Amino acid sequence: DAGVTQSPTHLIKTRGQHVTLRCSPISGHKSVSWYQQVLGQGPQFIFQYYEKEERGRGNFPDRFSARQFPNYSSELNVNALLLGDSALYLCASSLGTSGGTDTQYFGPGTRLTVL
Amino acid sequence: KNQVEQSPQSLIILEGKNCTLQCNYTVSPFSNLRWYKQDTGRGPVSLTIMTFSENTKSNGRYTATLDADTKQSSLHITASQLSDSASYICVVSVSKAAGNKLTFGGGTRVLVKP
């Protein structure tokens, strides 16, 4: 069974553009979370979705949005890109049924570079 | 403000030796604490997860401890191997009622030398 997959693996954009990152969770997982990891730092929580509903949001501006589809895959959208948005964007999936204690499985990430 | 602080920032140890990583948190209301291992350029992999009532949990050569009173956790690596070279990240989760948010520490970068 495949693990969490993310696409694309790498992406280069210029300031002001928008980007869409995609994530497919492990089969049977209903929860997807998104994280931003700047080089040399720990990941920062952006969003959590469970059963297509937003269940958590980190301290990110409204330029960041996400959604979860009926097949539990998810998209992260970032508008009006800034240089500071350059980071590794991680997606994690979990069963989502344990009230928050279930293990999250991370994908390989999408490396976004904003020039 | 919810924070997770890890120490040391980086660590070099010789193969076969033991080491202990520290994690202090101010996250509230506490739900659980997790340790992840992250190899360079890859996503984190879960090592342990502990709830309020658990004070120790092992996963092979990795043993995590939790003191919920002092809000401290440690990760002990026994008989280190070259493959243990990675970043180790402490993650604390608030309760479901508070939004299930995860707060990540900055990580401790461990380098195991032969």
Each residue's pLDDT, cut to its tens digit, for chain A (115 residues) gives 579 999 999 999 999 999 999 999 999 999 999 999 998 888 888 998 988 898 888 889 999 999 999 999 999 999 999 999 999 999 999 887 655 567 788 999 999 999 9
Residues with pLDDT less than 70, chain B: 96-100
SS3 B17: coil
- Specify burial of residue B35 (Cβ count, 10 A radius: 0-12, 13-18, 19+): buried
Q: Can you give the pLDDT at residue A14?
A: 97
Place of tokens 């992260």: A76
B89 Cβ contact list (under 8 Å, min separation 6): A42, A43, B6, B35, B36, B37, B38, B44, B104, B105, B106, B107
- Alpha-carbon distance A54 to nearest alpha carbon in chain B (angstroms): 10
Residue B67 has a pLDDT of 94
In the block, tokens 């092979």 appear at B60
Beta carbons of B104 and A90 less than 8 Å apart: no
Inform me whether the C-beta atom of residue A23 falls under 8 Å from chain B C-beta atoms: no
